[in-house]
Amino acid sequence: MADTHRHPFLHGLSKHRGAPPTVVVIFGASGDLTARKLIPAVYNLGVDGLLPADFFLVGYGRKPIPDDEFRTLAADAIKEFSRRELEADVWSRIAAHTSYVAGAYDEKEAFDRLAQHITAIEKKLGRELQVLFYISTPPSVFAPILQNLGASGLAGKYLGQPHHAKVIIEKPFGKDLASAQALNATIRSVFEEHQVYRIDHYLGKETVQDLLVQRFANSIFEPLWNRNFIDSVQITVAEEVGVGSRGGYYEQSGALRDMIQNHTMQLLALTAMEPPVSLDAEAVRDEKVKVLKAIQPLVTGPGGDVARAQYAAGMVGGKNVKGYLEEEGIAPNSATETYAAIRLSINNWRWQGVPFYLRSGKRMARRVSEIAITFRRPPGTLFADGGRFDLAANTLSFQIQPDEGLSLILNTKIPGLETRTQPVKMSFRYATTFGSNTPEAYERLVLDAMIGDGTLFIRGDEAETSWKLYTPVLDYWKSVGRDGMDTYAAGSWGPANADALLAPGRAWRQP
């Protein structure tokens, strides 16, 4: 095939995951996310033969950067952050189609220049290209970028054709319900919903994707996945790090906005949703929205469904670390939470009476993200003698990071002449089974956006439904200031007020 010889990217191209000819435009091209994640993601898609033959990368930012310098910066980012070494032949093909456009985000004329730049690429190539805009900027300029994409005609490029303009929008998607609704209104004034890909990189992680496979491809789980057999569900997103130099940003965010409202709610939706009628993107997203709408409003105040705290001085990794209020850029009377815990109730047939416990915090005992499903204990008639029988609740846990895999706690007999029991853990790890060099989340998500698969992205009504649940909590915390704010030692698993959310006989896991 002559085309295969002329376009090396076609070698080994997956027919199922092949993307159409595409221009990817990254807004915020000189930013940290672009260097750490986006450029390496594009490069690794090239290594895997998953970029189309006619693929072009355009960086856009305020800072004027010559094309050659941008290509050098991109190569340096790959060398430092890619999961694979830089291969000269792959990078040379990408670099040959890499360029940069400078301009302000609120400058319509600069977007006109961007449109002319893309048109010039198409004229040289002799064909029309799909354009994927990736907004990797601070949220303060989301709206100007979207509005100028509309004003310049870029948002409606080839609208109605199989391959048209698309836009990926990074988190945070709003800071409360009103701002999320306003951002969605701006989007709808420029793009149609099927052109929009609201990204949450957790959905690109292998274990998160595997959750649907485990639930719906294994008949041993689905009959037990309900209130009759499950006692409770815990979702944990814990970080060892503190706020570091991001104190100014974090003061405006906090754990609820930064992690709970987006990452943990996505994990909850995939855990609790009903089986979709198909793997079609809209079928999956319909079920996610349904389960989010079934969550009961949260009770705030003493004895309610929420707890918050700030980390105090402690020890992490054998080193003494300071408390949140001592960090750079943090107000001495700050009411921003570095830890949040939530107790959720889902009012539907499958989950009535099963509590879902969500927590996320900084400066915790270790970095880990997991979903833990605890099953009801069997009747204690046969193994009721506590002296001989050490029984634990059966728990199925999906570890999302850092050591991706899943485990199941079972009770088993200890070898010997008398019957004694002990809990044991059966584990599966991606690294040991499939190798440790698995694709990064952004690789999957960028590819999915190029081919038009929205399954792992957030729909507009889904984002608003999540904010509708948590905005009253944020409003309540704002009204009471520091009242009810607990503390926890850095390096611990969290504050005492979070323990009160759990019913007697339950405790937070220490994964």
Give catalytic status of residue 163 as yes or no. no
Q: Are 111 and 155 in contact (CB under 8 A)?
A: no
Tokens representing residue 175 in the block: 């800071």
> Which DSSP state fits 257?
I
- H or E stretch including 442? helix 441-451
Shortest CA distance to 401 belongs to which of 429, 373, 427? 429
Q: Which amino acid is residue 185, in one-letter code?
A: A
- The size of the chain, in residues, is 511
- H or E stretch including 361? strand 355-361
Alpha carbon 431 to its chain's center: 21
Q: Are 35 and 73 in contact (CB under 8 A)?
A: yes
Residue partners of 205: CB distance under 8 A and separation at least 6: 400, 401, 404, 441
What whole-number distance in Å separates Cα of residue 287 and Cα of residue 387? 46
Beta strands in 415-495, from DSSP E residues, in sequence order? 421-429, 486-489
Q: Which among 163, 164, 201, 263 is annotated as catalytic?
A: 263
C-alpha distances in Å from residue 19, one per residue of 132, 453, 499, 508: 11, 11, 48, 44
Shortest CA distance to 284 belongs to which of 211, 176, 347? 211
What whole-number distance in Å separates Cα of residue 94 and Cα of residue 13? 15
Instruction: Tell me the angle at which helices 460-480 and 281-293 cross, rounded to the nearest 10 degrees.
Output: 30
Phi-psi region at 465: left, alpha or beta (left = phi > 0; alpha = psi -120 to 50): alpha
* 43, 48, 49, 54: CA torsion to nearest 10: -20
Query: Which residues are marked as active site?
Result: 263
